[in-house]
Amino acid sequence: MTRAALLVLADGRFPAGGYAHSGGMEAAVTSRDVYDAATLEAFCRGRLHTAGLTAAGLAAAAAAGHDPLALDEAADARTPMPALRQVARRLGRQMLRAARATWPSPGLDLLARVRPQGAHQPVVLGAAARSAGLTPLDAAQCAAYESVGGPATAAVRLLGLDPLEATALLARLTGELDEVARTAAAAAGRVPAEGVGALPAASAPLLDVIAERHAARTVRLFAS
Amino acid sequence: MNATAPLTTTTPPGHGARADASAADPADAGPTACEHVPEACGNSAGSAQPPGVHASARIRAGHNGRTTTVPLLHSDGPFHLRRLRPRGDRARVSVIGAMSAPLGGDRLTLDVTAENHARLEVGTAAATIALRGPTTAPATYDVRLTVGEHASLNWLPQPLISTRGSTLHQTCAVDLAPSARLLLREEQQLGRTAEPPGLLSTRLTVRCDGRPLLDQHTLYGEPANAWDGPAVLGPHRAAGQLLVVHPRLDPGLPPLLIEDDPTAGHAVLAPLADVPALLITAIAPTSARLRRLLDTGLAHVLAATA
């Protein structure tokens, strides 16, 4: 394994289609719930500790080699909104294609065979991290970072926010990001003894509501 | 400040009952009897105030071939269980608060089983109010619901209210047989009128035939991270869910935005993945508005199952 594999996987330029998604940011900006740096930070922190923590747990468990189908089912149970399940599977399919080209492995091939429509993105991310020789904590870190990096980048485009301000915000969140990743990886370590119920299931009602609202809109910049 | 003042200056209602239950301890050595929580004793060692109660109440309904019977009603601690008049062929039980609970340090469990073919409805007579109590220790309140083959359970408690200074970890774990039916409503209110809430953690886990159907964990109130931010609750102080699992539901129903307005609240009705189950997720400024949203959603669901 190489540490640099983590940089390749976490890079926004990794061709997994993430750039087309704002993680609910477009809907939050449209409804004027996010309008400046302070509300952006509150949004990102909320997303990190809810959807981000849940995704990080699934990614860590997949990176540890747990049954990806059981994890995919656990991801469905943690994603009650059809719009978010659809987005997660579409992103999962795109990431799987990129990951199989980057770090080919029998595990990724199997996942592509049993979930041709795509598995949940965090599960694929974890399986990709495993193929790249990365650890469950690496995968959790990557998922946690994605949960805030996407919305922060989208906010720059949607609000015309200073990119330096958005980056400073991400830097301020790094401590909490590490903490979320550690919590997620520790939970993944309990899966063999306690089952997938040990994984975080943190949810956020507003993220759920705005995801369905956004999916119903015909004119939008981001897919989610 | 003034909103919580009465809690510290007067004895909450039911505290007499709480003390009586503890005093009865030595006489009742049963494993489910109320007892002090040993690990919570440290804070108030030597004081007469009990640091918390252990209580475990149980309800079991069965079907005798003709009708639903409720052979087991085990009241304990704050849970006083009472049979209500059946509605049609559905047996009904009400949980009545026999003492102020949960307070800090309490360990409460409520176990409800509807055996094969039984039809049961369980509700609470009043809102469940989480209070700080004599210690800052967290309280736990675990609800376990088990529904057998062709059985039907309605779990419709009144709201759970988190008050300033309280810490409550609530879980609701539901185990459904493949042909089981469920109507579940959970509502949380964060603080009484104009009162900041305590810390409220709730986890709802629903499994059908052993497989996870729904798993949701919420954490509201200080020091939870960004719980009142634009990704989680925003300005809303009431949150709730209504879940219907019924074989006649069409899992292909399109999601429906029941309400989406900052003052009225937000509510979405959506099918869960691959199973005949509909979930209404709602948030609103007040619990009255929340209930209205959940009722509107339920009317849509009933129309879909008719």
User: Can you give the CATH number for the domain in which A71 is found?
Assistant: 1.10.4190
Contact A207/B283, CB-based, under 8 Å?
no
A79 occurs within a structural domain? yes
Taking contacts as CB-CB distances below 8 angstroms, the residues of chain A near B266 are 205-206, 209
Chosen from B204, B211, B225, B242 to mutate, greatest number of chain A CBs within 10 A: B225
Q: How large is the average pLDDT for residues A211-218?
A: 92
Q: Mean pLDDT across the stretch B242-255?
A: 90
Instruction: Verify whether the Cβ–Cβ distance B218 to A203 is below 8 Å.
Output: yes
Residue A172 lies in a domain: yes
Q: What sections of A120-189 are H helices per DSSP?
A: 121-131, 136-159, 163-172, 174-189
Alpha-carbon gap: A129 to the closest alpha carbon of chain B (Å): 25
Residue A47 lies in a domain: yes
- With b for 16 or more beta-carbon neighbours within 10 A and e for fewer, the B158-191 pattern comes to bbbbbbbbbbbbbbbebbbbebbbbbbbbbbbbb
Q: Is residue A3 part of a domain?
A: no
Residue A11 lies in a domain: no
A122 is in which domain, residue-wise? Answer: 23-216
- The verdict on residue A158 lying in a domain is yes
Q: Nearest to residue A134, comparing CAs of A110, A99, A88?
A: A99
From chain B, pick out residues whose CB is under 8 angstroms from the CB of A83. 255
Look at residue A29 and tell me if it is in a domain. yes
Residue B49 is predicted with a pLDDT of 52
Q: Copy the structure tokens of residue B22.
A: 């503890």
Q: What's the total number of domains in chain A?
A: 1
Mean per-residue pLDDT for A5-16? 90
Mean pLDDT over all residues of chain B?
Answer: 86
Q: What is the pLDDT of residues A124-160, one digit of tens each?
A: 999 999 999 999 999 999 999 999 999 999 999 999 9
Would the CB atoms of A43 and B231 count as touching at under 8 Å? Answer: yes
pLDDT in tens, B160-169: 999 999 999 9
* pLDDT (mean) for B32-39: 41
CB neighbour class for A92 (10 Å; exposed up to 12, middle 13-18, buried from 19): buried
B244 Cα to chain A: minimum distance (Å): 13
Contact (CB<8Å) B283/A34: no
Q: In this predicted complex, what is the ipTM? A: 0.96
Query: pLDDT tens, B38-86?
Result: 443 334 444 455 578 999 999 999 999 999 999 999 999 999 999 999 9
Q: Look at A205 and B281 and tell me if their CB atoms are within 8 Å.
A: yes
Return the bridge partners of B139, or none: B168
Give the best residue of A49, A158, A213 to mutate against chain B (max B CB count within 10 A). Answer: A49
Residue A160 domain flag: yes
The residue to which tokens 């300005």 are assigned: B235
